[in-house]
Amino acid sequence: MAQVGIREFDAKKMYFDFIGKPYNAYKISDSNSIQSIEENRTYVIKPDMLFGKRWKYWLVWVNLDKNSCISWFEEKFQKNMQISWISGNLDVFLIEDFIPHNEEYYISFSAERDFDIVNFSFEGWIDVEENWDTVQSLQIPVFQDLTENQLEEIWISDIKIKDTIISLWNYYKTYGFVYLEVNPFCFHKETGDLVLLDMVAKIDDQEFFKQKHHWKDLEIPNTFGFNENPREEYIRKLDQETWASLKFKVLNKDAKIWTLLAGWWGSLAVTDSLGALWFADEIGNYWELSWNPNRDFTKAYTRALFEQMLENKITWKYLIIAWAIANFTDIATTFAGIIDILEEKQTEIHEQKIQILIRRGWINEKKGLELIKIACQKLEIPCQVADSSEYMTDILKEIKI
């Protein structure tokens, strides 16, 4: 399933909720809300838009009073920036208290198939990647917890550092993260309180159904420079309501080939094969409808796909409906939802002369393929159907553009 980044503000806010302490910070996305920051405090301000190395772009400013913080924000807000060859506007900022401190430490957790990796360094800051020889690593098998004894194996003896790492580990495991990095964390020079200076977090979006209590109304922002269209946004929100995987990204709104695919590997195989057949410029969309969506979710997804496909008014288009071998998705159920939309969009399908190419296999294969074949005949929609006896990509050879 997809690994997606979340805002630094949200990652830190959830952590402090997790440990039962307040998080005194502001997420600012308009000129009015910044006026609410308090007087007689000093601040750090930076964009909170899922790109790193903000220091190197001169996009972190520290030790500012309220007026200076507002002035810096007004100078940068909605400014167009080029970040690693990607252009976008700065429109969300994080403001936190400026905290005096001494030592800085690096910690990260990342999920692999059979274990989690813990990376730690006594020398945290922006150039840790260039100084990776200072980093010590542990591999923690799936379903095992990180212990103080393991931390001592990588020379961590300070009780506050160990407690902080164990706390962050428990947060990482409890809240469905696949990646969590704090670079750096430190302790307040006077009070000794934990300070998380910079945090990067990624979640597995398939956890939305499981993590509703923890994530609540968690925002999943677009990556920097990407503007989501209404149907992409609709399907992203739909995906959060189900255990199934519903993903949709428009590649070319004026394309002639559109896809309704299942499974990450199946989506990749079909899209790659279309490119190999010299149709790359005609691919309208990418991603998947997978993990056994029910009829209603299939219907909602397919409707949004057709609305996007029909919008360009181009004639002689193709819809590719292809999955590999379904190991638990009920083909008859998903095809019932697709048929509902074929009936709903019948007139537009005829007007734009859309042809449908289908390849599907396994659970209820015969029943599902027969259902959609009969439906297309009844609706007079050109359709070719292949079962699991044929290679998944063979059906693509029928495309004539």
Same domain, 93 and 128: no
Domain-terminating residue out of 141, 172, 196? 196
Same domain, 41 and 157: no
Residue 386 sits in a domain of what CATH number?
Answer: 3.40.50.261
Average pLDDT over every residue of 111-124: 95
- Which residues constitute the domain of residue 271? 230-398
Same domain, 294 and 243: yes
Asked if the peptide bond before residue 184 counts as cis, ω within 30 degrees of 0, the response is yes
> Does residue 194 carry a pLDDT above 60?
yes
Domain-terminating residue out of 51, 69, 97? 97
Evaluate whether 282 touches 330 at the Cβ level (below 8 Å). no
Burial of 26 per CB tally in 10 Å (0-12, 13-18, 19+): middle
> Is there a domain that residue 219 lies in?
no
Evaluate whether 221 touches 47 at the Cβ level (below 8 Å). no
Higher pLDDT, 101 or 361: 101
225 dihedral zone (left: phi>0; alpha: psi -120 to 50; beta): left
> Does residue 201 carry a pLDDT above 60?
yes
Residue 332, pLDDT score: 84
> Does residue 11 carry a pLDDT above 70?
yes
Distance CA 321, CA 358 (A): 5
Same domain, 303 and 182: no
Distance CA 212, CA 203 (A): 13
Nearest-10 crossing angle of helices 159-174, 8-18: 110
Q: Dig out the tokens for 319 from the structure.
A: 């819809």
Evaluate whether 303 touches 339 at the Cβ level (below 8 Å). no
Average pLDDT over every residue of 92-106: 95
Domain-terminating residue out of 71, 97, 123? 97
Same domain, 26 and 119: no
Same domain, 238 and 168: no
Confidence of residue 253 (pLDDT cuts 50, 70, 90): very high
Confidence of residue 344 (pLDDT cuts 50, 70, 90): very high
> Does residue 179 carry a pLDDT above 90?
yes
Which residue is associated with the tokens 């939305």?
208
The total domain count for the chain is 3
Residue 290, pLDDT score: 87
Distance CA 229, CA 205 (A): 19
C-alpha 348 chain-centroid distance: 33
> Is there a domain that residue 115 lies in?
yes
Nearest-10 crossing angle of helices 331-344, 365-379: 10
What is the C-alpha end-to-end distance of the chain, expressed in Å? 33
Kindly report the number of other CB atoms within 10 A of residue 399's CB atom: 16
Same domain, 139 and 243: no
Distance CA 187, CA 360 (A): 57
How many contiguous H segments (helices) and E segments (strands) does the chain have? 11, 21
Same domain, 258 and 296: yes
Distance CA 194, CA 326 (A): 48
> Is there a domain that residue 203 lies in?
no
Which residue is associated with the tokens 């190991």?
327
CA angle in degrees (0–180, nearest 5) for 198-29-182: 10
Question: pLDDT tens digits for 384-393?
Answer: 999 888 887 8
Same domain, 138 and 184: yes
Evaluate whether 261 touches 267 at the Cβ level (below 8 Å). yes
Q: What distances in angstroms separate CA 392 from CA 95, 153, 180, one per listed residue?
A: 51, 50, 37
Distance CA 355, CA 316 (A): 7
- Of 337, 348, 260, the C-alpha closest to 307 is 348
Same domain, 247 and 378: yes
Same domain, 158 and 256: no
Kindly report the number of other CB atoms within 10 A of residue 156's CB atom: 19
Residue 15 sits in a domain of what CATH number?
Answer: 3.30.470.110
> Is there a domain that residue 269 lies in?
yes
Same domain, 150 and 241: no
Distance CA 139, CA 92 (A): 35
DSSP class per residue in 40-107: S--EEEEE-SS---TGGGT--EEEE-HHHHHHHHHHHTT-EEEETTEEEE---EEEEE---BS--EEE
pTM exceeds cut of 0.75: yes
Residues 179-217: b if buried by 16+ CB within 10 A, e if exposed: bbbbbbbbbeeeeeebbbbbbbbbbbbbbbeebeeebee
> Is there a domain that residue 214 lies in?
no
Residues in the chain: 401
Phi and psi angles of residue 351, each rounded to the nearest 5 degrees, phi first: -60, -35
Residue 110 sits in a domain of what CATH number?
Answer: 3.30.470.20
Distance CA 47, CA 39 (A): 21
Name, in order, each residue with C-beta under 8 angstroms of 32's C-beta and a sequence gap of 6 or more. none
Question: pLDDT tens digits for 347-364?
Answer: 999 999 999 999 887 667
Residue 328, pLDDT score: 63
